[in-house]
Amino acid sequence: MVATEPVAEKTPRKQQQRSVLTQQKLLDAALEAFSENGYKGTSTRDIAERAGVHHPLITYHFKNKEELWRATANRCFSQFARSLLHAREEAAQQSPRDRMASMIRAYVNYAASHPATHKLMLQESSRSSSRLDWLVETHLKPVCEIVVEELKPLQESGIAPPGDPALLFNLIRVSSGGILALALEIKGTSGIDFSESRNVDALADMIVSIFLPERN
């Protein structure tokens, strides 16, 4: 009995680890597929093939394509929000300009290392849908509201450009994620390779200097 008990204890744990690994594979494959082909252009069979798992495992873990899409969006946009809020917290004692600059750099670096996140957003933004409504209310709008509140005092003090702070946020956002979503095209037309960290840093520096110019 003593020799068999550890084996009995390990079996459920190994099964749980395999289950978690399978879910991660499916989520990674789903993000890749949805960002490339959109929701309608993606099949669960394609996702299963990309993940290298049996097709029935999708319904076992996520029930259907809609639930898999939401789980995929939840994971990538939650990670994005955490990276942005972490940068904000790390710079909490810095000046408002430096705090916003830190958030912009975090945005650029996350977009560079997770290009599929912005591509997924572009896919969903091309038409109205319940998925877009959910994405906006659950993830995008809360982030927008946080950044807008950070931008308002910068505008009032003349550091950031005047105008609707929500529009300014979206200009910054598109300047970050939108450019990096076009990385392959930009590499071909301009020779700028965003797989090199120095080019990502240069982009972040340029965005900061344009939208948060330092006073002389």
Range of the domain at 84: 72-216
- For 132-165, what is each residue's pLDDT tens digit? 999 999 999 999 999 999 999 999 999 999 999 9
CATH of the domain at 119: 1.10.357.10
Residues 51 and 95 grouped into a single domain: no
User: Mean pLDDT lowest for which of 61-70, 114-123, 140-149?
Assistant: 114-123
Task: Name residues whose C-beta falls within 8 Å of residue 61's C-beta, 6 or more positions apart in sequence.
Answer: 19, 22, 23, 26
My answer on whether 44 and 134 are in the same domain is no
Domain match, 123 and 157 both: yes
pTM: 0.84
Alpha helices in the chain (DSSP H): 5-37, 44-51, 56-62, 65-90, 96-113, 115-125, 130-135, 141-156, 165-173, 179-181, 183-190, 197-211
Domain total in the chain? 2
CATH of the domain at 23: 1.10.10.60
Query: Which of 63, 86, 103 finishes a domain?
Result: 63
Last residue of a domain, which of 39, 63, 87?
Answer: 63
- The verdict on 128 and 198 lying in the same domain is yes
Q: Are residues 58 and 78 in the same domain?
A: no
